[in-house]
Structure 1
Amino acid sequence: MNSLFKYELLKIAKKRMNIVVVLVSLFLTLLFFIMPVQNYISLERDGRQVNGAAAIQLEKEYAKKLEGTLTEERVAQDIKEYQTLFTNPKNVLKDGDKVNLTDENYARYVLPHYSYLKMIDEAFLKPQVTDNGLTVLRDMRLENTAGFYQARADKVKSYLDIDYSDWKYSNQEKQFWNTKNSQIETPYEYGYHAGWRSLFQCFELLIVSIIAICICIAPVFAGEYQSGADSVILSTRYGKSKLIKAKISAAFLFALLVFLINVLLAVGIQLYAFGFEGWDLPLQILNVTIPYNLSLLEAAMVCILILLLVSMGMAAVTLLLSAKLKTAFAVLVVDVLVILLPVFLGLSGTNGILNHILMLFPYMAVQPVFPAEYTSYFSYPFPGLTVDIITMRIIVYVVISAVCIPFVGRAFKRHQVQ
């Protein structure tokens, strides 16, 4: 078995086309994950733009002044300081009834802390409402505290109470999400976290590695049909038993190695450039309404786990197709359709059955559910049980792998030899 396994693994790994495909996937991963580093932009307090490593260092300096616990008193004080900027006539420009900060003062006092102020501002907004100008913070009337965490709770309640014709949460789902939200630890800790924010924005680009895996293992069985070697293999002593197991094991190990190399490259680039700081901060600093009680590191690990399961699930599907279909090209056509189906159909932005299905396809499944409200609160209600989108994706791809693998060998053994 060991010699067969090694032979099959080397057969996949040494194939010239596979080497090219893996190298291309690594190049694309390098390109996709280094671009956010090179294109990272920050502004000096005089409005001068800096890019790349200099911008990241500047962002760290700005964020260092904001580190600490977000108590109600601190949030209220920070909002008051922001509002104070508008009380000085020298800081503002009036356009009719509108009062805005001058470009110079906006660059000096707001832009360095914009993501922090935006996070606070979003807690006080109604669901599906944007306020890029931070007008809510500017016009708030404050007492001793800001009511930041109560505002978050009220916003979550309003989101769950949405009652559109095509979107409505059942009482069971509301109870599920309210229970999850009750587990969120407050007050939040805040600090520098640019690397983790960038990672969540880029994780979906690892779909390239999944496509590369499918291309490389598509010929594992179909290639034997095309070459005519299937008749020889099935007539040998171990052709219907150990050799099939060796092919399946080798394909999965190859898929795992390709995936891990791509992930290590992607994560390594981002965290080397941006730094590891912020790993223990709560996920809610990306979006205050996120209902998962996870740190940024824990959330990143969840994303990687789902990416891994999707990779293994698609490897299992590809092997089954390879055993069923006569050519590797036909296998890849089906794979691409399965992976990219949500792109062709498009999400409708509703809570319908079709969206619940499309959200489980590979292209959507590799996209982190944070920080968007739409995906953060996406759930699958069953009688007496509600399953969140993260758990559902894990279950689906574990089941896909478990169901497909036993049928791979059976399909290869029972196919009609030409």
Structure 2
Amino acid sequence: MRLFFLEMKRILSSRITQVLMALAILLSAVLAWLPVTYCYSTYTNAQGQEVTLTGLESVAFEKNLQVAAAGEVAPEKVKAAVEHYQACLRSYGVTESYDLPPGVYEREIMPVSPLLHGVKEAFADPETGMAPSIMEIDPDRLDSWYEICEQRIASLMAMEQPGSQAAQKTAMDMYRSVPKPFQVWPGMNTASLDYQNMLGFLMLLFCVVLAAPSFAAGYQSGADDIFRSTRYGRKQLAIVRIGASMCLSSLWFLGCSVVYLVTANSLFGWECVQTSLQMMYSIVSLPGWSIGQLQVFFAGAATLSVLASVSLTMFVSARCRSALSALAVSLLLCLLPTVAVMTMPGQLSTWLATLLPAGGTGIQASFLYAVTDFQFLTAGELAIWTPWAMLAAWVLEIPLFAWLAIRAYDRHQPG
């Protein structure tokens, strides 16, 4: 344990560690605040003047306007919202809400807009996926709102996974277990979760930057020759260094996640975390989580992704002979899931983004985006939802790459 604490002290006493840790805490608060600055609302006052609200004023304005829509999303509330929308547009002789006179949308439609989320999507054509306008929807059909949503997930999965009955069945089973009726608490938007993902990616890079020189720097400077001549200079030192890096990375990541979530949820309002995932993303999203649960699940999953990436970085460091080459290879591996999603076709990109350690917090590929998507890894009659496959991969990769790093360091031959 003494070696472990000495290693932790060595890492924490480094100037680069102190700078990155301070920067990470600052970024956690700044990134939590940024989505609020993009909130924008306009309304026409009693004098006929257009008033523009931004930031927290906009959030408060919309939450106050939509207070009647908050709570359970009962079928009768969705039906009433659609009927109100249709009656409003007919009274002005238009077919689209953007054709309404100034101020009408904010006064008439915005109060019920949370309940209209996903209505067009649920009635999309099962063959083409094209959604109708709300004016084309028969409100009486909304008495069976949740049955219509189940029909939509069936048709969507038939389009997304046409060659896998197992994936279609798994998706249907998952959706049937989602708690209903849904909950909606206006205020928060998807940008808050996108920025949480961005924070995770930046933290991943920071942790990799700190871990990359762990072994390679000693090879390069020659200090490793001295370490190897000591009593605990081979396997024991490798275990201590890997354990210290992973412990610091996990505590650091979770600490920044707490700062982010406390700041973001305090700004938007803690009641917003009760909103069902389906009421912020697709109406037929598969997991039965609230937004608050998604935030926590993502923080935990991203921590595993970071630990798997740090473990892989330690293996790379044990194999490279210079700190620069170890850092370059490690950063390339961090970017590889995003590159794979952008450049590789179909299932190949899905498999790579799922199995690579850095796939949990990428810009284009991440646990967050996998949760809100409908991708499955399929092999014959086997179908695994990609977020579960990601978690399983990282749990296996953490000890695997750690063991490979210990083995590589123990067998390293100075040269």
TM-score normalised according to structure 1 size: 0.88
Q: Which residue of 2 aligns with 1:204?
A: 197
Q: Output the amino acid matched with 2:83.
A: K
How far, CA to CA, are the matches of 1:260 and 1:68 in structure 2? Answer: 30
Measured at CA, do residues 359 and 18 of structure 1 come closer, stay the same or move farther in structure 2, by a change above 3 Å? same
Where does residue 142 of structure 1 map in the other structure?
139
Partners of 1:23 and 1:204 lie apart in 2 by 19
What residue number does 1:86 align with?
A: 89
> 3-state SS of the aligned residue for 1:387?
strand
Q: CA deviation at 1:303?
A: 0.9
Which of these residues, 67, 72, 89, is aligned with residue 69 of structure 1? 72
CA distance in 2, matches of 1:223, 1:281: 48
Q: Who is 2:120 aligned against?
A: 121
Q: What does residue 49 of structure 1 align with?
A: 52
Q: Please give the secondary structure, in 2, of the residue aligned with 1:147.
A: helix
1:341 Cα deviation after fit: 1.8
Alpha-carbon offset, residue 414 of structure 1: 1.2
How far does residue 99 in structure 1 lie from its aligned partner after superposition?
9.5
Residue 381 in structure 1 maps to residue 378 in structure 2: yes
Kindly provide the amino acid, as one letter, of the partner of residue 337 in structure 1. Answer: L
Question: After superposition, what is the alpha-carbon deviation per residue over 1:42-64, rounded to whole angstroms, capped at 9, x for unaligned?
Answer: 33354522111111211221232
Assess if the C-alpha contact under 8 Å between 1:45 and 1:112 holds in 2: no
AA in 2 matched with 1:233: F
SS in 1 for 2:313: helix
Classify 1:350/1:116 alpha carbon distance in 2 versus 1 (closer, same or farther; 3 Å): farther
How far apart are residue 129 of structure 1 and its match?
Answer: 5.4
Q: 2:318 — aligned with what?
A: 323
Aligned partners of 2:98 and 2:229: how far apart in 1?
84
Structure 1 residues 209 and 78, CA gap change in structure 2 (3 angstroms): same
The residue number in structure 2 matching 1:260 is 254
Aligned to 2:403: 406
Rounded Cα–Cα distance in structure 2 between residues aligned with 1:25 and 1:53: 24
| CA distance 1:398–1:39, change in 2 (3 Å) | same
Aligned-pair CA distance for 1:372: 8.1
Alpha-carbon distance, 1:107 to partner: 2.9
Structure 1 residues 370 and 147: alpha-carbon distance in aligned structure 2, compared to 1, 3 A threshold: farther
| 2:164 equivalent among 159, 170, 194 | 170
Q: Which residue of 2 aligns with 1:397?
A: 394
Paired amino acid for 1:332: L
Q: Which moved more, 1:311-320 or 1:284-293?
A: 284-293
What amino acid is aligned across from residue 101 of structure 1 in structure 2?
A: L
- 1:69 alignment partner, SS class: strand
Q: Secondary structure at the match of 1:168?
A: coil
Count how many residue pairs are aligned between Structure 1 and Structure 2. 405
Q: Provide the C-alpha distance between the structure 1 equivalents of 2:287 and 2:192, rounded to a whole number of angstroms.
A: 18
The answer to whether the Cα contact below 8 Å between 1:5 and 1:247 also exists between their aligned partners in 2 is: yes
Q: Tell me what 1:155 maps to.
A: 152
Deviation at 1:307, TM superposition (A): 0.5
* 1:233 counterpart residue number: 227
Q: Is the contact made by 2:41 and 2:53 (CA closer than 8 Å) also made in structure 1?
A: yes
Q: Secondary structure at the match of 2:99?
A: strand
Q: Residue 124 of structure 1 contacts residue 155 of structure 1 at CA under 8 Å; is this kept in 2? A: yes
319-328 or 293-302, larger mean C-alpha shift: 293-302
Letter in 2 for 1:48: V
Residue deviations 1:282-338 (CA, integer Å, cap 9, x gap)? 222122111112222222221111100111001101111111111121111112211
State whether structure 2 residue 339 is matched by structure 1 residue 341: no
Which range moved further: 101-110 or 216-225? 101-110
Aligned pair in 2 of structure 1 residues 59, 263: CA closer, same or farther (>3 Å)?
Answer: same
Query: CA-atom RMSD, angstroms?
Result: 2.7
Check if 1:313 corresponds to 2:316.
no
Identical-pair percentage: 20
Q: Distance in 2 between matches of 1:278 and 1:169?
A: 38
| Distance in 2 of aligned mates of 1:175 and 1:238 | 54
Q: C-alpha distance in 2, partners of 1:372/1:121?
A: 23
Any idea what the Cα deviations from partners look like across 1:164-223, whole Å, max 9, x if unmatched? xxx63411111111111221232223323516x443222220200110001112111111
Secondary structure class of the residue paired with 1:43: strand
| Aligned counterparts of 2:130 and 2:20: Cα–Cα separation in 1 | 42
Residues 1:285 and 2:282 are matched in the alignment: no
Change over 3 Å in CA distance of 1:329–1:140 after alignment to 2: same
Q: For 2:155 and 2:275, how far apart are their aligned partners in 1?
A: 26
The 5-angstrom pairing of residues 10-29 of structure 1 reads 10-29=9-28
Cα distance in 2, alignment partners of residues 353 and 344 from structure 1: 12
| Shift in alpha-carbon separation, 1:280–1:158, aligned structure 2, 3 A | same
Corresponding residue of 1:5:
4
Residue 106 (structure 2) aligns with: 107
| Aligned 8 A contact 2:7 2:244 in 1 | yes
TM-aligned CA deviation for residue 350 of structure 1:
5.9
Task: Give the C-alpha shift of residue 121 in structure 1.
Answer: 2.9
Is the partner of 1:37 in helix, strand or coil? helix
Equivalent-residue separation in structure 1 for 2:316 and 2:378 (angstroms): 31
In structure 2, how many angstroms separate the alpha carbons of the residues matched to 1:48 and 1:12? 53
Report deviation, 1:252: 1.2
